[in-house]
Amino acid sequence: MFGTRPHFTREAIYALHGSRTIDGRRAARELSHRARPFEDTLRDAVAWFVQSGRLPALRARFAEEVPT
């Protein structure tokens, strides 16, 4: 329409639309999956971003808290 590629496909917009609840019972039953607490996952993600240099501004701030 505007001569450029869209940033999102129709399928992506559909997938992102609305509030979807994900039920982990099948993964728990068939794969013995156990979800981690969100706080642990977030802490590990921030640590990875800091260690990999993707959040350099936080490196000094969290240097003592982030395991190497």
For 7-40, how does the pLDDT look when each residue is reduced to its tens digit (9 = 90+)?
888 888 888 887 777 888 999 999 999 989 999 9
State which amino acid sits at residue 3.
G
Q: Where are the domains of the chain?
A: 10-59
Q: Classify residue 53 as left (phi > 0), alpha (psi -120 to 50) or beta.
A: left
Q: In this structure, are residues 67 and 47 in contact, taking their beta carbons and an 8 Å threshold?
A: yes
**Pairwise CA distance, residues 68 & 33, whole Å:** 27
Contact (Cβ atoms closer than 8 angstroms) between residue 57 and residue 46: no
* Percent over 90 (pLDDT), the chain: 29
Burial zone of 10 (CB within 10 Å; 0-12 exposed, 13-18 middle, 19+ buried): exposed
